[in-house]
Chain A
Amino acid sequence: MSNASSAPQHRADLPNGWEMVVGLEVHVELDTKTKLFSASPNRFGDEPNTNIDTVTLGLPGALPVLNKHAVELAIRLGLALNCTVQPSTFHRKNYFYQDMPKAYQISQYDQPINVDGFMMLPGDVRIGIERAHLEEDTGKSTHIGGTSGRIHGSDYSLVDFNRAGVPLVEIVSRPDIRNSDQARQYVAELRSILLAVGASDAKMEEGSMRCDVNVSVRKPGAPFGTRCEIKNVNSIRAVGKAIDYEARRQIDVLESGGIIRQETRHWDDGEGRTHTLRTKEDADDYRYFLEPDLVLLDPDQEWIESIRASLPMLPAARRAQLALLTGANKESESVYVIVERGQDDYVSAVAQAGGDAARALVYVQQAFAEEGSSPRVAPKDIATLTQMERDAKITATQAKTILSEMVANGGGDPVAIAAAKGFEALDTSAVEAMVDAAIAQQADAWAKYCAGEEKAMGALVGAIMKASQGKADGKVVTAILQARRAK
């Protein structure tokens, strides 16, 4: 079920009522110890051509034997994407390339392991997942000499087969994406799910997660337009930029009376544009046929259910849980960030230790960016800090200072730190006196502020904070100033 009608709000982004239709094909390398069909290590960054064997090199007589762990990770991912796991087969995709040792890639074709899933994006947007199938990666070519880094015009090419045979899952979305924000959200959410289920390290910069983007444009309600596939989109940011560029390029072509040819285009991130890589006419005929060296992959239901039972809570559910605990919106940035960092359990531990969950969410988002999923600071100490701020024993600024020190030292008692720094929140009457003094000293600023120039408030607040040596609570100061002006 596609959700074509649910996301019209971004349509205004494109001129003259055009709508973009986007589908993504994402390749991820599975986090297995060995390759998809052989016992060579699946490891990034080793010396070239060290993780190889007879199967990897496609030596005559070598036969593939399917890696069970790769199948398990593919099923984990499929289940996390709400797919049906079905009996599946492997095909040969035949083409010549120097980093393709057998001159064919073993891939799943008409019977993939995972089909018919979906992913939810913010705003209850549902993106269909057509399939998530297993296949092997190719080797890697480096073209030496020439100017473009491409094979044409190079002096010679070096081939590294370490990556050949590394297990991949290709996740193919339905063309349900309607703007570049959704595309970025989709890739980010997929990455979170991959990390959560342990299927892949999903590092776009190392190529363990790679996106191909299919883009077409149409007028709403019209049939799908001709699509172009964009390759070399190597970051989430580039996904958004490439889609926006390509949709506008297609609209320009169509509005000037041209037609879109189905083709594969290359995203040049430096130039911020796409180039024709090959047209449909140059496309290889892959001559797919059933891989005779492998048999039907038919995982038994019991195994599938045990994999399902072993799945961790997925990011969407964790965000909902964190939102409920902290009162934040489940689509807010802080909730996304904390769950992505895996720090939601930590926030929940702070709450359990009697802390204020909403404040804890803010603290952790601000100060724990480098801390990973198991911050060193004891949850009970963060709980105490939230209580001190809530009870106005310290100001928000002081709380921030104490928090920084706790994080820098890998822990600490906030009460002791506050005492050592002489932190205490000033009571309101003392702050009122300081406000009056500041108004007297900064008459110009006060006059501008009273005339409605909000920026002028900064000078006043600055003077008060200075006079109080940071002990005045900024929120209290602001409130008093606003009250004075209203008189």
Chain B
Amino acid sequence: MTKQFATVVDIAKDIASGKTSAVDVLEQHLSRIAEREGEINAFNLVTTEQARATAQQVDADIKAGKPVGALAGVPVALKDNMCTRGIETTCSSKILEGWKPPYDATVVTRLQQAGAVMVGKTNLDEFAMGSSTENSAFGPTKNPLDTSRVPGGSSGGSAAAVAAGFAAASLGSDTGGSIRQPASLCGLVGVKPTYGLVSRQGIVAFASSLDQVGPFTHTVADAALMMEVIGGHDPLDSTSLPQPMPSLTSVLGQGVKGMRIGRLADMPDGCEPEVLARMDAAYVALQAAGATIVDISLPSLSYCLTAYYLVAPAEASSNLARYDGVRYGMRVETGDLHSMYGATRAAGFGAEVKRRIMLGTYALSAGYFDAYYGKALKVRRLIANNFAAAYEKCDVILTPTSPTVAFPLGDKTSDPLTMYLCDIFTIPTNLAGHAAMSVPFGTGAHNLPVGVQVLAPALGEQTMFRVAAELERAS
């Protein structure tokens, strides 16, 4: 945990008790933004004026003795793929530059209702496609812990904003690791909830069957609180689970005694030795806390990356087809409709987005569907079956979040495949629709943070948070 910044829990408590004011807290964060944002580029937009108005309202409500929400006065940042009414939402793409949604995403509404103060919209890999936030049309975000390195991606701006103290917490979206991997690279807690636990309404879709919103925080307790605010059924999202949000803040102290922790017997190659050393330390710590370690295997793990790079681009090719210049966003005027489509999309999308649209369109095409998309769906079922078998033997599974610590900017941009390998440990969770989170657990090479990933079955958040809390205590 990055100890130099106040936590969500402390900020909320101090504002509610009158020990400090929302305006003061906000100004501290805004001054840090003023100081370092030029160097970090975490934000596409800092919403200073709206944030000040919200903070003043929170203070006025507290002064008037009105009841306030669980996050009253807490500065939060939102990944710029979440719709905010009247506030530019770009997905870090030129094609949406200037677009102001007429509505708020459900998670945005829930944060507002809890009294959170939105400080800005954070940078991302264009349309959330990437693992380093270098694919942004508005320039890369730097890792606040070492600005020669990437913050991870695609939610790199949201991770950097919290790591740099620009916001006490932020929201990201995770389609194949886009919350957990940057959390790991920036030394933060990052949660990818069970598919359907958090509403996707108002989240600009990348791959609808995989996308899920979750928080970045400094502590596990902060993450639990954020989850309780944003999670739970939403009638506006048909894939939203009907269950009420389970309590997470109340289980953090319950420990891991008697819990069975799964360890991958067939660890894939490519992990830095320091990362593997931290994993060993994590097992030791949990064992010391009363858990047992069991070896499990996920035989289909090696196919997941391939399956993901068919399923996600396929859905993306369909989700991104609406950016045609007809109704909103960018339009390149030409003589006729079809050339307008082509010219607009050629100018509006970056190289990685185009690459994935091509991949996905091909995978769904007549004559290729069965060999590509159809086969990828089979792998999805296989990995789900693998997980089901593993969870007969264990309650959670521990893996590294990322095979490496934060890598230098430009290190992987020339070869998409090496970039795709960043997500080898995170992708299976999205394919299965399960829960997973990254918890900082010491440092590796270059004294940079290493994250341990806790994987749990669908709706296994309570167990997952208990393990995460134990790791946090031991780190």
- Measured CB to CB, the residues of A under 8 A from B are 54, 57-66, 92, 94, 96, 98, 101-104, 151, 157, 159, 285, 287-289, 292-295
Contact (A102, B322) CB under 8 Å given A287-B361, A289-B373? yes
B406 CB–A CB distance under 8 Å: no
When the two chains form the complex, which single residue of A104, A285, A295 contacts B238, counting CB atoms closer than 8 Å?
A295
Interfacial chain A residues near B203, Cβ < 8 Å: 61
Complex contact B202–A61 (CB within 8 A): yes
A interface footprint on B190-228 (CB within 8 Å = 1, 0 otherwise): 000000000011111101110000000000000000000
B423 CB–A CB distance under 8 Å: no
Q: How far is the CB of A291 from chain B (nearest CB, A)?
A: 8
- Bound-complex Cα distance A225 to B203 (A): 49
B314 CB–A CB distance under 8 Å: yes
B326 CB–A CB distance under 8 Å: yes
Query: How many B residues have CB within 8 A of the partner chain?
Result: 42
Interfacial chain B residues near A104, Cβ < 8 Å: 318, 321
Interfacial chain B residues near A92, Cβ < 8 Å: 318
- Bound-complex Cα distance A132 to B365 (A): 26
- Bound-complex Cα distance A294 to B238 (A): 6
- Bound-complex Cα distance A98 to B326 (A): 7
The stretch that binds A, out of B96-104, B139-147, B290-298, is B96-104
B181 CB–A CB distance under 8 Å: no
Complex contact A61–B204 (CB within 8 A): yes
Contact (A292, B208) CB under 8 Å given A59-B101, A59-B102, A96-B321? yes
Interfacial chain B residues near A58, Cβ < 8 Å: 322, 327
- Bound-complex Cα distance A61 to B213 (A): 12
Complex contact B83–A98 (CB within 8 A): no
When the two chains form the complex, which single residue of A57, A103, A292 contacts B321, counting CB atoms closer than 8 Å?
A103
B5 CB–A CB distance under 8 Å: no
When the two chains form the complex, which single residue of A54, A94, A103, A293 contacts B208, counting CB atoms closer than 8 Å?
A293
Complex contact B322–A101 (CB within 8 A): yes
- Bound-complex Cα distance A159 to B327 (A): 10
- Measured CB to CB, the residues of B under 8 A from A are 82-83, 89, 91, 96, 99, 101-103, 105, 200-205, 207-209, 235-239, 314-315, 317-318, 321-322, 324, 326-328, 337, 341, 361, 364-366, 369, 373
- Bound-complex Cα distance A57 to B235 (A): 19
Interfacial chain B residues near A157, Cβ < 8 Å: 337
When the two chains form the complex, which single residue of A60, A151, A289, A292 contacts B83, counting CB atoms closer than 8 Å?
A60
6 A-B pairs whose Cβ atoms sit less than 8 Å apart in the complex: A59-B83, A60-B99, A61-B200, A65-B235, A98-B337, A104-B318
Interfacial chain A residues near B91, Cβ < 8 Å: 60
- Bound-complex Cα distance A285 to B364 (A): 9
Complex contact B236–A63 (CB within 8 A): yes
When the two chains form the complex, which single residue of A65, A102, A288 contacts B236, counting CB atoms closer than 8 Å?
A65
Interfacial chain A residues near B317, Cβ < 8 Å: 94, 287
- Bound-complex Cα distance A293 to B207 (A): 10
Nearest-CB residue, chain B, relative to A151: B337
Interfacial chain B residues near A57, Cβ < 8 Å: 327-328
Nearest-CB residue, chain B, relative to A102: B322
